């Protein structure tokens, strides 16, 4: 879940949850928005909040984002459609099952 403001890109899940907030103008406003989401959605993990200039988003954004599964030979065994709506965790799990059964991970061995 992301805290999208009503005057920018509104997320359907936010609307369903009754979360309507304007764009933050300060970091304290952004933190208050995150707290609203955490409270209304009963989120149990601490939120990660970017600064008001979106420095983290700019530094780490990858477009389009996708999920990949790489097999033991280093080949792409699965590539999702662009996310987040193209993410299908069940498809990832189905790809991983035979790969893990064929070659169980070697934990703690170099």
Evaluate if pTM is beyond 0.95: no
For the chain, 110 residues long, give each residue's pLDDT as a single digit of tens.
556 777 877 777 777 877 777 889 999 999 988 888 888 889 898 888 999 998 988 887 777 788 999 998 899 999 999 888 899 999 999 999 999 888 766 666 55
Q: Parse the chain into domains and list their residue ranges.
A: 12-60, 68-102
Write the DSSP assignment of 3-65 as a string of letters. ---TTS---HHHHHTT---PPPSSHHHHHHHHHHHHHHTT--S------TT-HHHHHH--SS-
Question: pLDDT at position 58, please?
Answer: 87
User: What gap in Å lies between CA 56 and CA 47, rounded to an integer?
Assistant: 14
> Which pLDDT score, from 0 to 100, does residue 110 have?
56
Please check whether residue 26 is in contact with residue 52, taking contact to mean a CB–CB distance below 8 angstroms: yes
Beta bridge partners of 17: none
């Amino acid at each position: 879940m992301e805290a999208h403001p009503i005057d920018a890109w509104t997320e359907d899940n936010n609307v369903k949850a009754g979360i309507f907030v304007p764009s933050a103008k300060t970091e304290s406003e952004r933190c208050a928005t995150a707290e609203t989401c955490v409270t209304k959605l009963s989120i149990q993990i601490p939120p990660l909040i970017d600064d008001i200039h979106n420095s983290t988003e700019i530094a780490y954004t990858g477009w389009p984002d996708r999920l990949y599964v790489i097999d033991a030979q280093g080949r792409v065994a699965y590539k999702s459609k662009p996310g987040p709506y193209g993410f299908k965790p069940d498809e990832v799990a189905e790809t991983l099952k035979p790969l893990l059964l064929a070659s169980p991970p070697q934990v703690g061995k170099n």
